[in-house]
Every structure is written in structure tokens, then in C-alpha cells.
Amino acid sequence: MRYKPVNILEEDRHLGPAGEKAFRLAAIVGGVGLAAAAVIGLASDHGGERFFHSFLVSFCFFLSLSLGALFFVILQHLTRSGWSVVVRRLAEGIAANLFWLAGMAVLVVIGMGKLYHWTHADVVAADALLQGKSAYLNPTFFVVRMAIYFGVWVLLARFFLTSSIRQDQSGDVSLTHRMQRFSAPAMLLYGVTVTFAAFDLLMSLDPHWFSTIFGVYYFSGCVVGFFALLTLVVFAVQRSGRLTKAITVEHYHDLGKLIFAFVVFWAYIAFSQYMLIWYANIPEETAWMLAYQVSMYCEKAM
């Protein structure tokens, strides 16, 4: 698709004080919400277990948005796309939140004992399956893997953001070429780390169940959520009077097509996982679907 050339120098491209205000507001709302959740959750009869499980679900959701943004940024450099240049900076900003999410991951480490029963030596000693997986599922290695995952993600997000800003300031095309060269190994690192992070953060909640497609399942949700968020962010930015010429209706069309494509992909992965569990009918696999159906029944009953 061909886009009409526009003079972007004629429009406002900077958030300025509005960005600082939005950041402060988000920090206040997030801090108050997290503190309230901690007080309510830690005061429950479950000794904080409810809080840490709720936090993990919320954490993985917001993490998925920034991971989806990082995927988009890497992909645009890998394919040398030109259409996305005007929205890529917004994606780079969303991906930069991985730095803050890395700090919040400390709460997951603190709550490991409440979240993952494989962290308890007595439980492992009484379970042959957990003993077989203990070389991978143990607290020390879990913390090391978390550090590696977030270290890779933060470095990648920082690299593309700072290089992009420098390229804007200097106009040096070699910086663009450098980002394009690094995009292929960056995509490989991204794929491996996101897959294993999904295994560690979510699938290991029930170490007796496993699915080799679970990492792709989480990744597809990352991308769907991000494209929906990016569309809303673009809309909000334009309503504030910024990027009103550089971003056109064609960009909205392309974002909408990407949302549709990855919704189909997400549904395909979800059905593929369900179908394999259904027709194999193996007890250690069907238990996961049974637990899901029970939880849905309880929600309807409430």
C-alpha cells in the first residue's frame, strides 16, 4: 500500500508535559492499586496466597503487552518495513516498560512459595514426578532464568529505542542498518525467552501438566493484546492533536488487519492445544482442561 507523503515537521510530534503527566498519573494509580491489593490479599485467610496469584495473572497480562510491542519493533526491522515507521516509536515506548516490569518481577520471586508448590522440599520429596523435574524446577534456577529473561528483554528494548532516537537526531542511516542486522538474532532470543518464560511463570503452576505449544499460546496473546493497545494509543495520541498527518486511515486499516490475523492465529493455537488433549485423552493432559471447566462452572454459579 502506498502512503501519501506528508510534511511531519508541520505537526506536533512530542508529548512533552502531557507525557510526564500521564506517567505520574499511571504511577500513582498503579501504586495505590498495588498497595490496596496487597493489604486486602495479605489480610485474607490464605496468608497472601490469593494476593500473589492475583498479582501473577495481572503481571503476566501487562508483561504480554510490552512483549508484544518488542516483537513488533524487532519484526519491523527484520522485514525492513516502511509503513510502520510513524507508529514504531509508540511501540518502542510500550516495550520500554519492560524495565519497570523487571522490577515488579521481584514480587513473583518473593511469592514463589505461595505460587509454586515445587519450591517446597517436602512436597518434592513426596512426588516422584517433581523429583524428576527438580534439576529444572528449583528456586535457584528459577531466579537465574528470570534474571536472564528480563535482562535480554530490557537490553533489546533499550537497544532499539536508543538507536532509533539517535537515528532521528543524527540522520545516520547506518544506525538503521545496524538495527536491521541485529533484528534476526534478536528475534531468536525473543522467541526462546518468551517460550520458556511462559513455561516458568504460568505452566509450572501445575508441574504435572505440560504442553509444548503453551509458549506459542502465550506469545499469540501477547501480539493480539499489543495490536489492540497500539490502536488505542494511536487514537489517543491523535485526539490530543499529535501525529494527525503522519498517521493516516491506512495505518488504522493495517493495524486492524494485524489484529484480525493474530486473533485467528490465537484461536488456531488454542484449538490445536485443545484438540490434541481431547483426542489423546491422557490423564496427565486432560486434568488441565478439567480444572479449566470446573473454574468456568464456578464462575457461572457465582
Among the listed residues 90, 114, 65, the one whose alpha carbon sits nearest the alpha carbon of residue 222:
65
Domain ranges of the chain: 39-301
pLDDT at residue number 242: 83
Question: Residue 185 class from Cβ within 10 Å (0-12 exposed, 13-18 middle, 19+ buried)?
Answer: exposed
Q: CA-CA distances (angstroms) from residue 49 to 40, 44, 135, 144? A: 11, 8, 25, 23
More confident residue, 3 or 279: 279
User: What are phi and psi for residue 12, nearest 5 degrees?
Assistant: -80, 120
pLDDT at residue number 296: 53
The Cα–Cα gap between 223 and 72 comes to 8
Neighbours of 92 (CB within 10 A): 22
The Cα–Cα gap between 242 and 89 comes to 13
Cβ–Cβ under 8 Å, residues 284 and 113 = no
For the segment 27-56, the average pLDDT, to the nearest whole number, is 79
**Confidence class for position 267, pLDDT limits 50, 70, 90:** very high
More confident residue, 7 or 267: 267
Distance, CA of 144 to chain centre: 19
Q: CA-CA distances (angstroms) from residue 292 to 173, 245, 295? A: 51, 47, 5
Residue 66 has pLDDT above 70, yes or no: yes
Give the lowest-confidence range in 214-218, 222-226, 267-271, 284-288: 284-288
For the segment 203-219, the average pLDDT, to the nearest whole number, is 90
Q: Which amino acid is at 168?
A: D
The Cα–Cα gap between 119 and 140 comes to 10
pLDDT at residue number 142: 95
DSSP conformation class of 120: -
For the segment 226-246, the average pLDDT, to the nearest whole number, is 90
For the segment 260-279, the average pLDDT, to the nearest whole number, is 91
Q: CA-CA distances (angstroms) from residue 83 to 80, 139, 215, 247, 254? A: 9, 45, 29, 10, 9
Cβ–Cβ under 8 Å, residues 94 and 159 = no
Share of the chain above pLDDT 90, in %: 54
Distance, CA of 295 to chain centre: 24
Residue 223 has pLDDT above 90, yes or no: yes
Residue 1 has pLDDT above 50, yes or no: no
The Cα–Cα gap between 238 and 214 comes to 37
Q: Read off the pLDDT of residues 158-197 as tens digits, 9 standing for 90 and up.
A: 999 999 989 888 888 898 899 999 999 999 999 999 999 9
Residue 9 has pLDDT above 60, yes or no: no
For the segment 24-38, the average pLDDT, to the nearest whole number, is 82
Tell me which H or E stretch contains 26. Answer: helix 17-42
Describe the crossing of helices 283-301 and 249-280 by its angle, rounded to 10 degrees. Answer: 120
| Mean of per-residue pLDDT scores for the chain | 87
**Confidence class for position 295, pLDDT limits 50, 70, 90:** low
pLDDT at residue number 36: 82
* Model confidence, pTM: 0.86
pLDDT at residue number 49: 81
Sign of torsion, CA 63 69 75 77? negative
Q: Which amino acid is at 1?
A: M
For the segment 67-87, the average pLDDT, to the nearest whole number, is 93
Q: Read off the pLDDT of residues 53-63 as tens digits, 9 standing for 90 and up.
A: 889 999 999 99
Residue 213 has pLDDT above 50, yes or no: yes
The Cα–Cα gap between 279 and 241 comes to 54
Question: Residue 24 class from Cβ within 10 Å (0-12 exposed, 13-18 middle, 19+ buried)?
Answer: exposed
pLDDT at residue number 273: 86
**Confidence class for position 3, pLDDT limits 50, 70, 90:** very low
Q: Read off the pLDDT of residues 149-166 as tens digits, 9 standing for 90 and up.
A: 999 999 999 999 999 989
pLDDT at residue number 30: 80
For the segment 106-119, the average pLDDT, to the nearest whole number, is 92
